[in-house]
Amino acid sequence: MSGPGPERSGFNLRLRLLLATGFVLICGMAGTGWWMIHTIERIVTTNAGAVTALYVDATLTPAIQDPAIYKAEASEARAELNQLLNQGALGLEVLAFKLWDPEGQVTFSTRSGLEGRINPENPRFQTAMGGRVYAELRQVPPQAIGGTGEALTPVLEVYSPIRSASTGQVIGVAEFYSRAAPLLEELHLVRLRSWLLVAAATLVMGALIYGVVARGDRIIAGQRQALREKISALSETVSENARLSDSVRQANARLAGLNERMLRRLSADIHDGPAQLLAYAALRHGQPGDENQVQAALEEALTELRQLCQGMALPELHRWTPASIAGRLAEAQQARSGQKIETDCSSDLPALDLEAKNCLYRFVQEGLANAARHAAGAKVQLSLKNEGTGLLAEIRDNGPGFAASQPGPGLGLSGLRERVAALQGRFILQTAPGQGTLLSLWLNGSTEQSEIRPDEPPSDH
């Protein structure tokens, strides 16, 4: 069973990344928003408590500075404080009030029954005795602030230190509860704006991250596509190399067979030709009146041996250029057959290594010889030109042609085809009865440099 395709895998990876990023952003948004709102509420509550404490302290200063107020028998001072708490804006703002002495005893309260209570371990009281204002938003029952009913009432609970006007020391603690509805409305707006700000920042970060992920995904997809194309091209190259290697192995095997057949044919040519003539000369040697016949047989045998050697041997091609090879073979073939050969060689021909020159030599030699044998009197054209990274040689004639599907008894074209295949070149035969013949050869170029002087003759072998 096949797995998901690369596009599906890329989509799943992108989706998982976006989900993970979204989860992290949401958690970060929630944590950041909670911390920020909690911090804002604490600061606002503390500031509101401090402001209220200053207002209450400034309003009640004459009464709460009197040391007698902290004693239960100071009825006049307590009456004055109670009057201040019940009049004007302070009476509307403060819902309940207590006065603590330094030992943690409630010496005054707007609620009856609380005076005389002692609670020095109250942490809020301890904070105020330390010189700091303690403020907290709380939901308290109405009875805690002298009211009635069952619904909890939101209040701002404040513990404020009372300092001596002369020494600055804390001489008591004022505990009071003020109305918190306006503060809660303000805090609600702050919470809403804070969450909107955090959400907007999260959306911006999410959009930026999505853009980065999308861009990275496009880059990865492009790289994946390029990698697939490279792998496909590499696979094709490997397959082509395997095919060429197999073709070269087959060509080498066929070439070995052709060499064996060529050796057998050479052996038969020597046996049936020069060997027979030499045997005849040996038999007739010393017979009266046969001197001329023996001499003729020896000369004919020597001539055939020279022709065989000339066909087998190659000149010193390492010093020849492709153009000089074509020119020399065309001149030699014209001299032997009398057939006109038109030669066209480009001036930018690439250099060839020695094996390629040998192949080019045999190609031109065999092609011109075949044209002389099978297209006598026809127009023959030999051309060499630069094509791609190699050399293209063509031999064309307008002779009678032949059926390319029916190979002849000779080994020339078959041997040429195998030579070219062994060099990973290209050999093409195009012909048909009545349409002439075209032989094409392409060989890869080399960095080897070849030179020959124009007046230098080929070496004799």
pLDDT band at 393 (very low <50, low <70, confident <90, very high): very high
Q: Which residue has the higher pLDDT, 355 or 3?
A: 355
Q: What is the dihedral of CA 342, 399, 405, 417, to 10 degrees?
A: -20
pTM of the model: 0.40
Query: What distances in angstroms separate CA 98 from CA 81, 174, 454, one per listed residue?
Result: 11, 6, 129
Cβ partners under 8 Å of residue 339, min gap 6: 333, 371, 372, 376, 377, 378, 380
Q: Give the three-class secondary structure for 182.
A: helix
The pLDDT value given to residue 459:
43
Q: What is the pLDDT of residues 318-371, one digit of tens each?
A: 788 999 999 988 998 888 778 889 999 998 899 888 888 888 988 898 888 888
CB of 306 closer than 8 Å to CB of 334: no
For 8, 25, 198, 206, the CA distances from 210, given in Å and listed in that order, are 18, 12, 18, 6
Residue type, 238: V
Q: Where are the domains of the chain?
A: 6-195, 315-461
Using alpha carbons only, give the angle 148, 121, 101 rounded to the nearest 5 degrees.
Answer: 75
pLDDT confidence of residue 439? 92
Beta strands 437-444; 426-431: pairing state: antiparallel
Looking at domain 6-195, does it have CATH number 2.102.10.10?
Answer: no
Burial class for 169, CB neighbours closer than 10 Å (0-12, 13-18, 19+): exposed
pLDDT in tens, 46-88: 777 677 777 666 666 666 666 666 655 555 666 666 666 666 6
pLDDT in tens, 253-306: 777 777 777 777 677 667 656 776 676 677 667 777 667 777 777 777 787 777
- CATH number, domain 315-461: 3.30.565.10
